[in-house]
Amino acid sequence: MDEISLRAEESIRNTFHRELFEPFTKACREYRLIEDGDRIAVCISGGKDSMLLAKLFQEIQRHKKAEFDLRFIAMDPGYDQANADLIKSNAKKLGIPLESFKSNVFEEADKAVKGKCYICARKRRGHLYSKARELGCNKIALGHHYDDVIETILMGMLYGGQIQTMLPRLKSRNYEGMELIRPMYLIREEAICRWRDLNGLVFLDCACSVTDRKTEDTSKRLEIKKLIAELKETNPAVEANIFKSVENIDLDS
């Protein structure tokens, strides 16, 4: 096994056990994300979140707390060659047996006038479900984390005029018998960044030709990040309160 992979795994077991592995297993346990007999397609975008997700799944499989199978799938939605090569290189360094396939998602999303990131995400998910089913999997796992949940809640309220969130477990509407799970639901992005930096790893950000041109969607998400940082200065509990808010809706006030 590559030295980089060994070091990354060792840091998950030791340095980042409380910040990464414990919240990962807690989410899996509390939301029943992994069950005996599952065949899980771990979806790799090439970014820090999905690469860590793969390593966490490999680590929990070592503990044999449930009998389940893993496939690691990476969709190429239209990356340039350098980015496609970086994903494969990182997967090899980290000991992730990647199965890659191509789509034209970037091209399709670029045709949209608005909501390019939303359309890209929806189309990606459809392709991932389809590939996972082809491989005999009953679940797909995505690398969304705690901070993604908070930002999604605020973006829905402030820019969409709606209450929305990311659930840790979601049944597919279009692929009967399949589910989407988010095992990194309780993990903070800051811890993920420190794990990446400690191990000297360089991952993709988005690598999207669409968002390279600074779309409205990416600008909004940056604004939300800044807003949360400002709110934390006067209320350190603001993130936890936002996270819990969608579970505590009071209709009688």
121 against 97, higher pLDDT? 97
Would you place residue 78 in the very low, low, confident or very high pLDDT band (cuts 50, 70, 90)? Answer: confident
**Total number of residues shown for the chain:** 253
Q: What does the pLDDT read at residue 121?
A: 82
111-129 pLDDT per residue, tens: 776 777 777 888 889 999 9
Q: What does the pLDDT read at residue 113?
A: 65
222-233 pLDDT per residue, tens: 999 999 999 999
- Average pLDDT of the segment spanning 93-102: 96
pLDDT at 72 over 60: yes
Task: Name the CATH superfamily for 3-245.
Answer: HUPs (3.40.50.620)
Residue tagged 């890209």 (tokens): 120
pLDDT at 76 over 60: yes
Domain range annotation of the chain: 3-245
Q: Say how far apart CA 58 and CA 60 lie, in whole Å.
A: 6
Nearest Cα to Cα of residue 179 among 143, 125, 134, 135:
125
Q: Taking all residues of the chain, what is their mean pLDDT, rounded to a whole number?
A: 91
Amino acid at 10: E
